[in-house]
Amino acid sequence: MIRIEIEPVWRFTRDGDGQSMRVLLDFLHEIRATGKITRAAERAAVSYRHAWNLIEKWSLFFEAALVERHQGRGTTLTPFGERLVWAGQRLQARLGPQLQNLAQELQSELNGLLPQSQSVVRIHASHGFAVSKLRELLARDPGLRVDIRYVGNPTALVSLAHDGCDLAGMHLPQGSLRRQAVTACRSLLSHSGYRIVGFVTREMGLMVKRGNPLGITSLERLLDPAVRFVNRDPDSGTRMLFEQLLAQQRLEGARINGYEHVEFTHAAVAAYVASGMADTCFGVEAAARQFELDFVRLITEDYFFVCRKPALEDDSVKRVLAVMRSREFHEALLSIPGYRANRPGEIRTVRDVLRNPTQPAGDAGV
């Protein structure tokens, strides 16, 4: 089976001389993390001298220093070097899921033309840290064909209803907002024709700069015009949950500074805050920790997969569920802040999960 990866390449041009920035950004990110050029050189498998030559080359190109050496205290990035690194991280956070979707589309088209016997498991789900980890583990099975597309929470269920996928991601908040969320999706799920597959729970809340300098501890604090916010896209389940939280507290989104400015993933909004372009955003705890931000927990979500009952008899689907149930997946979740296993791979009826809207899924009977 052919696998495809698509990665962005930076190309800066001065006087018609185009040059790629890919290697330099990796260097700068490692220097920022470790404070050591030697470590950056080792990670890139180049000599210390070559690493310095690369840094000096790009400093001349930009006509600005990228790093500063401190006697006895290692090496740090200059403000210009920091800005390059944050720009690169924002780019990856914003485009990563879209490029993965495109790569998956091309991969499926090419593999569909090759002689093969195994079926394809089509998974539509919102982009998230646990889903990315599952994707990574599934890719290790050379005999398993999986087509994972990142789409919004409502779109995934609609796709399942129209036979556009075999497994659809669905996340529901715990607590008082659960009934509203269940009502919104109940029309797409017939109790007899579908099954729910357990997956994870995840913590949702506000991401703020380290030390929380603006004292942002509640949604009401977002109404201060001095607080800059970056939002998720309107089609995402996270945006829908955020708006439900605002409505619950009778707060108007239009009064939030930056409410109309959107990014498309948890990592993208976190990178926006980490780079200083906003003060806060709403999303998963894992994204906050990835970008060294503080996190103000507001609510817990249950993340499931939904499938049609006959799909559970497919051998490839059984292999996907086996990976969810594996010790390797459970151990991988331990490294993702704010995520916990919630009976992953366990099959339940829709009635079991939805019959008590205010009860956390992990406590419901089977």
Q: Where are the domains of the chain?
A: 19-86, 118-356
Is the pLDDT at 365 greater than 60, yes or no? no
Tell me the CB-side half-sphere exposure of residue 240, using CA atoms within 13 A: 20
- pLDDT number for residue 366: 30
Continuous segment of H or E residues that includes residue 115? none
> Where residue 18 falls among pLDDT bands split at 50, 70, 90?
low
Output the CATH code of domain 19-86. Answer: 1.10.10.10
Q: What per-residue confidence (pLDDT) applies to 2?
A: 80
> How far apart are alpha carbons 264 and 202 in whole angstroms?
18
- Structure confidence at residue 116 as a pLDDT band (50, 70, 90): low
Look at the chain and count its residues.
366
pLDDT at 3: 81
The answer on pLDDT for 189 being more than 80 is no
pLDDT over 90 at 112, yes or no: no
**CB-based contact 341:202 (threshold 8 Å):** no
Element holding 319 (H helix, E strand) = helix 315-325
Q: Are β-strands 229-232 and 280-284 bridged in parallel, bridged antiparallel, or unpaired?
A: parallel
Across the chain, what does the average pLDDT equal?
Answer: 89
pTM above 0.85, yes or no: no
Q: Which residue has the higher pLDDT, 46 or 331?
A: 331
Query: Element (H or E) spanning 185, and its range?
Result: helix 178-186
Q: What is the pLDDT of residue 17?
A: 67
- Residue 230 pLDDT grade (very low, low, confident, very high; cuts 50, 70, 90): very high
> Which range is least confidently modeled, 42-56, 296-310, 312-326, 332-346?
42-56
Instruction: Establish whether domains 19-86 and 118-356 are of one fold.
Output: no
Q: Residue 21 pLDDT more than 70? A: no
Distances from the Cα of 212 to the Cα of 250, 261, 341, angstroms: 24, 21, 29
Burial 64-103 (b: 16+ CB within 10 A, else e): eebbeeeeeeebebeeebbebbbebbbebbbbbbebbbee
Least confident of 108-122, 204-218, 243-257: 108-122
- Other CB atoms within 10 A of residue 106 CB: 13
pLDDT in tens, 260-293: 999 989 999 999 999 899 999 999 999 999 999 9
pLDDT of residue 364: 38
* CB contact at 8 A, 286 and 334: no
Architecture of domain 118-356 in this structure: 3-Layer(aba) Sandwich (3.40)
Pairwise pLDDT comparison (88 vs 65), residue with the higher score: 65
Q: Contact 276/183 with Cβ under 8 angstroms? A: no
